[in-house]
Amino acid sequence: MSRLATTGEVLQLIRSGEALTRADIGRVTGLSRPAVALRVSELLGRGLIVEDAEGPSTGGRPPVRLRFNAAGGVVPVASLGASRTQIAICDLAGDVLLRTDLDIDVEEGPDVVLPLLMDTWEKLLDGQAPVVGVGLGVPATVEFAAGRTESARVMASWTGVVIPPIIAERFPVRVLVDNDVNVIAMGEHRVVYASELDDLLFVKISTRIGAGVISGGSILRGALGAAGEIGHIPVRDGGGVLCRCGNLDCVDSVASGTAILRDLRAKGREVLTMADVTALVRAGDAETMAVVRQAGRWLGEVISGAVNLLNPAVVVLGGDIAEMFQPLVSGVREVIYQRSTQLATRSLRIERSTLGPGAGLTGCALMVLDHVLSADAVDAAGG
């Protein structure tokens, strides 16, 4: 390092495991022993690191090992869904410590939902370790820097709402809000794939269809935060279905959970929920299988376009529908390999979500931790 490493930079070395002892820090940064001691004692004093007595012995007195203190604070997080909201308290490693799910209709609006959310966090926290930041995933396009929801997919009453200042009245810390699929993509990437690849496309197939893009290791948001809105790309031969966005044959209008239920009802099947559809698939109902497989092909058509554009190393299919239907996932696979360029698919993997429904909570916590534990933020807070 050409200039003196700061306390925040020393924390990054310990967090990443690059430096385990004071001697390591000196070697990596070139800092003098007193300078290392000063930064380490500041981090110890702030509870960001702890000392472990037993280090790897090299003969004589074993060196004291330094470890990032995941228990040094907590991050309240929530992943808002159309009808169900997951709420949790995470530690500074992003692991879920406490969790509860609430059946709230988000259409009740921010005036009802946000206070309920904050009450639930307070109950879970019960006066625990310091809150270092708050993270939320919402089913809407989010102007990330401001935390403002735009063109909400399912929550019209939230359009234009700037969430962070409302939360900060009760939790006066950094509050970050992002699109629900973006935070799921971040969680899935960091926990499952970060050690092996940097480019991932996550497609959530549920009541609605959305995608999150990890490119070069970071979330791709686009100019206004609308990147990954794959649901409103039209398919060929969709039959002229009018989408709620006003266009025809968007993949969301022909292949989402909502569309599958509508098409089966039109064919005389009595299906209320996706669980009813699952039952028909299991029973081998040919017409239901055909509808589900066709939905998979339409999804594959749109995803193959995204694969050509983005060249991800892995496409991860998540959401309750991807989890339920092997025929749908097979349809998606088949069309992606047919339609995408050879180069883009040479080593492409197509996987089902590993983390499942909890990915959004972990993703929310990591989004916050990347900010509040960055070298700049740590130095500014210590200043």
Lay out the site mask for Zn ion across 206-235 (x = CB under 5 A, - = otherwise): --------------------------x---
How many other C-beta atoms lie within 10 A of the C-beta of residue 111?
10
Among residues 86 and 256, whose Cβ is nearest to Zn ion? 256
Among residues 9 and 229, whose Cβ is nearest to Zn ion? 229
Closest distance to Zn ion from the beta carbon of 215 (Å): 24
Closest distance to Zn ion from the beta carbon of 232 (Å): 4
Among residues 174 and 262, whose Cβ is nearest to Zn ion? 262
Closest distance to Zn ion from the beta carbon of 181 (Å): 16
Do 336 and 303 contact (CB within 8 A), yes or no? yes
Lay out the site mask for Zn ion across 232-271 (x = CB under 5 A, - = otherwise): x----------x-x-x--x---------------------
For 89, the 3-state DSSP assignment is strand
Closest distance to Zn ion from the beta carbon of 259 (Å): 11
Closest distance to Zn ion from the beta carbon of 121 (Å): 35
- Using only the alpha carbons of the chain, give its radius of gyration: 23
Q: Which of 320, 329, 314 is nearest to 356 (CA)?
A: 320
Tokens encoding 378: 């740590």
Number of residues that bind Zn ion (CB under 5 A): 5
**Rounded Cα–Cα distance for residues 267 and 297 (Å):** 19
Token look-up 């059946």 returns 103
Among residues 118 and 299, whose Cβ is nearest to Zn ion? 299
Closest distance to Zn ion from the beta carbon of 203 (Å): 16
Closest distance to Zn ion from the beta carbon of 272 (Å): 24
Helical H segments across the chain, by residue range: 7-16, 22-29, 33-45, 110-125, 163-168, 180-188, 251-255, 257-266, 274-282, 286-310, 320-324, 326-339, 342-345, 359-372, 375-382
Q: Give exposure, 129-168, as e/b (b: 16+ Cβ within 10 Å).
A: bebbbbbbbbbbbbbbeebbbbebbbbeebeebebbebbe
For 55, the 3-state DSSP assignment is coil
Among residues 250 and 373, whose Cβ is nearest to Zn ion? 250
Among residues 125 and 245, whose Cβ is nearest to Zn ion? 245
Among residues 148 and 208, whose Cβ is nearest to Zn ion? 208
Residues 319-338 that bind Zn ion (CB under 5 A): none
Token look-up 């969790």 returns 99
Closest distance to Zn ion from the beta carbon of 233 (Å): 8
Do 348 and 336 contact (CB within 8 A), yes or no? yes
Among residues 250 and 281, whose Cβ is nearest to Zn ion? 250
In terms of DSSP bridges, do strands 65-68 and 49-52 run parallel, antiparallel, or are they unpaired? antiparallel
Which positions touch Zn ion (CB under 5 A)? 232, 243, 245, 247, 250
